[in-house]
Amino acid sequence: MTNIAIFASGNGSNAVNIVKSFNSGSRIHVALCLTDREDAPVIAKMKEMGIETEYYPRNVWRENPDTILDILQRHDIKLIVLAGFLCFVSDRIVEAYEGRILNIHPSLLPAYGGKGMHGAKVHQAVIAAGETKSGATVHVVTDKIDMGPIIMQKEVPVLPDDTPETLESRVHEAEYELYPEAIVKALMSLTEGDTHRAEAEETPATENSKPEPPAIPQSIDDAWAETLGVANNVPPVPSTPVQQPQQPQQTSIGQSSCYNQQTMYQQTMYSGQTHTGSTEPMPSTWLVWSIVTTILCCFIPGIVAIIYSSKVSSKYFAGDIEGAKRASRNAEIWIIVSFVLGVISNTLYIPLSIAGLF
Ligand code: GRF
């Protein structure tokens, strides 16, 4: 079981959605909710759902982050999820949970993010700028507001008659789909990173030993299903890579498909493994095969063809017209043989290697 904590200051609709998504029957468990607002509606909602919920005034968050870290450690929290948390998360907590704190922001970051950009202000600014699309972003929290690596984004249209309220509610709906999936992906990425680190620690490095490349992950659907502890019978959805708006300083985490949504998941944070294309080197057996078959199938028949064609003129000038014709025909045949054998032998490598002979 992987325990996660939610930090929230407001209504808590995302918090409720996250608890509903995970706390019945998955391996991810919301074990704790912390807030900085004594009267936040999220408190009652979480308690009603059986989630331990604690309020700490802002001075504790600011001046005594160890109190927060204590309760997180007592609950064995692996990931912190900010859902409308308006208090500053102290550097001490960010360092202790480096790469393990997520936030959701109601715009397509890096646009409309940063200090002071939250709630209705974001949607007002999007509408005022005449944008035709907006959305939500889940990113890793760093010491720079809204600037951490992006995990996933989901777009929504901005309609001509939208008000900040109508746009906010459309973005909220997108958030409910986006956040649970982003949490799963972040946890998968962190688990992969932990496994590779543990393996690296177990295997003492020798002078010639190179680190093993990270294992190629299962399909996202399977891995996700496994993380959630459910069967995966959903047919794979083709992914459409999207152009990521330029991020000033960070890399995003990896790349995958997301049902009906655009994702930015291009690089595994800890393993450094990219999934954007094959980097397989050409197998050396192919090179050997190609050289040998080219010599046997092209050069040798080619030389025979040259010998025959050299005979054409000598026979012709010797008055042996029939002999010259025969030599010319033979030269043609050997040229064709050379070409056909060359093509066949080189392409034969593919079925043979599929059959496992290389
Ligand atoms: C969400 O729009 C989220 O993007 C932002 O705060 C809002 C929280 O809403 N960070 P709720 O409290 O989950 O309803």
pLDDT in tens, 332-343: 998 898 888 888
204-242, pLDDT tens digit by residue? 655 555 545 444 444 445 555 555 555 444 444 443 443
Give 212 or 93, the one with higher predicted confidence.
Answer: 93
Pocket test for ligand 1, best of 17, 37, 104 (most atoms within 8 A of CB): 104
Q: Which of 38, 27, 36 is nearest to 6 (CA)?
A: 36
pLDDT value of residue 166: 98
Of 33-47, 163-177, 196-210, the one with minimum mean pLDDT is 196-210
239-256, pLDDT tens digit by residue? 344 344 444 333 344 333
Strand 28-35 with 53-55, pairing: parallel
Average pLDDT over residues 265-284: 42
pLDDT value of residue 250: 39
Whole-angstrom CA distances from 327 to 237, 330, 340 are: 62, 5, 20
Which of 105, 118, 123, 139 does the annotation list as catalytic? 105
pLDDT value of residue 226: 58
What percent of the chain shows pLDDT beyond 70? 76
Cα 105 from Cα 119, distance rounded (Å): 9
pLDDT value of residue 302: 87
Type of residue at 317: F
Cα 155 from Cα 147, distance rounded (Å): 18
Q: How many whole angstroms from 173 Cα to the centroid of ligand 1?
A: 11
Map tokens 């956040």 to a residue: 179
Q: Which of 44, 45, 52, 1 is nearest to 20 (CA)?
A: 45
Whole-angstrom CA distances from 144 to 26, 89, 115, 249, 250 are: 32, 11, 9, 10, 11
Give 255 or 63, the one with higher predicted confidence.
Answer: 63
Q: Which ligand 1 atom sits nearest the alpha carbon of residue 16?
A: 13
Q: Which of 113, 193, 189 is nearest to 153 (CA)?
A: 113
Q: Strand, helix or coil at 340?
A: helix
Phi, psi (rounded to 5 degrees) for 157 = -80, 150
Residue length of the chain:
358
Cis preceding-peptide flag for 157 (omega within 30 of 0): no
Pocket test for ligand 1, best of 175, 176, 177, 178 (most atoms within 8 A of CB): 175
Residues at CB less than 6 angstroms from ligand 1: 8, 10-15, 83-84, 104-106, 136, 172, 175
Q: If you take atom 10 of ligand 1, which residue's CA is the nearest one?
A: 84
Phi, psi (rounded to 5 degrees) for 327 = -60, -40
- DSSP, res 203: S
- Residue 174, pLDDT above cutoff 90: yes
pLDDT value of residue 214: 41
Q: Which residues pair with 136 in a beta bridge?
A: 154
How big is the CA angle at 21 (ends 19 and 24), to the nearest 5 degrees? 80
| Secondary structure E strands in 16-143 | 28-35, 53-55, 77-82, 101-105, 133-140
Cα 300 from Cα 304, distance rounded (Å): 6
Q: How many whole angstroms from 304 Cα to the centroid of ligand 1?
A: 79
Question: In 244-261, which positions are buried (b, 16+ CB within 10 angstroms) versus exposed (e)?
Answer: beebeebebbbbbbbeeb
Q: How many whole angstroms from 347 Cα to the centroid of ligand 1?
A: 58
pLDDT value of residue 348: 80
What percent of the chain shows pLDDT beyond 90? 53
How big is the CA angle at 22 (ends 20 and 23), to the nearest 5 degrees? 75
Active site residue 105: yes
Q: Which of 159, 140, 101 is nearest to 250 (CA)?
A: 140
- How high is the mean pLDDT of the chain? 81
Which secondary structure element, helix H or strand E, spans residue 6, and what is its range? strand 2-7
